[in-house]
């Protein structure tokens, strides 16, 4: 990177750019899929996370937390502070649900 580049030395932006480049094939495959497939998969994972036995719930919620965190990193601050706050809030809420279900504190099976 040139010396006058404002992001020179910024490992976070470099990591985010590398993650974005590596994510392109998967994101293109998701974009080609019918919308009901992606929505249906998300809905199934949420329902499994809430009502399935603990080990299934933990696995499905962990997948959702990882995917949502990955998308959160890819989106960065796009869309303004309100949208960013909603995305971060939904990530934190889902992470809390994951921890509660993994610990067996709610909806015991």
pTM: 0.75
**Cα dihedral angle (25, 56, 35, 89), rounded to 10 degrees?**
-90
DSSP annotation of 33 reads: S
Q: pLDDT of 20-75, one tens digit each?
A: 899 999 889 989 999 999 999 999 999 999 898 989 999 999 999 999 999 888 88
Instruction: Please tell me the distance from the alpha carbon of residue 11 to that of residue 9, in angstroms, as a whole number.
Output: 6
């Amino acid at each position: 990177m040139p010396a006058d580049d404002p992001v020179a030395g910024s490992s976070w932006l470099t990591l985010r750019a590398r993650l974005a480049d590596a994510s392109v094939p998967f994101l293109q495959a998701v974009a080609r899929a019918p919308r009901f497939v992606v929505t249906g998969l998300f809905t199934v994972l949420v329902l499994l996370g809430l009502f399935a036995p603990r080990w299934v719930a933990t696995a499905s919620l962990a997948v959702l937390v990882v995917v949502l965190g990955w998308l959160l990193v890819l989106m960065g601050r796009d869309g303004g502070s309100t949208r960013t706050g909603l995305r971060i809030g939904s990530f934190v809420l889902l992470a809390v649900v994951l921890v509660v279900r993994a610990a067996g504190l709610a909806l015991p099976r």
